[in-house]
């Protein structure tokens, strides 16, 4: 099959994924610290699911956390969109 292209390939100056660096980016620590209540600020369930999917995708080398945070803050259930976008092969980094 065709190898999925990671965000790092699109953005050479971007932080490498855990698969390449073995380190936890400061951004992920910030997200885990500040964006982990049971529901989004607008009360839509899905905050924890978004975080779990984001971590899985990040471990696999995909850059999901930025869009995940944006969507979760807006009150969307990120894991559903994340799955759809990932299946379609889109890079979720808004840059």
- Condensed to tens digits (0 to 9), the pLDDT of residues 28-41 reads 566 555 544 444 44
In the numeric block, which tokens belong to residue 43? Answer: 């009360």
Angle between helices 26-34 and 65-74 (to 10 degrees): 20
Residue 89, pLDDT > 60, answer yes
Cα 7 to Cα 43: distance, rounded to the nearest angstrom: 30
Centre a 10 Å sphere on the Cβ of residue 18 and count the other Cβ atoms it contains. 16
In which band, very low, low, confident or very high, does the pLDDT at 18 lie, cut at 50, 70 and 90? very low
- The pLDDT value given to residue 88: 72
Cα 54 to Cα 49: distance, rounded to the nearest angstrom: 8
CA-to-CA separations, 16 to 1, 36, 46, in angstroms, rounded: 23, 23, 27
Residue 44, pLDDT > 50, answer no
């Amino acid at each position: 099959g065709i190898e999925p292209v990671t965000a790092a390939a699109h953005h050479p100056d971007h932080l490498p994924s855990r698969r390449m660096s073995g380190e936890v980016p400061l951004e992920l620590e910030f997200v885990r610290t500040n964006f982990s209540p049971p529901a989004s600020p607008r009360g839509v369930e899905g905050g924890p699911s978004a975080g779990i999917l984001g971590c899985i995708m990040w471990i696999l080398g995909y850059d999901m956390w930025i869009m995940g945070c944006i969507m979760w803050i807006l009150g969307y259930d990120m894991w559903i969109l994340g799955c759809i976008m990932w299946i379609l092969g889109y890079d979720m980094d808004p840059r």
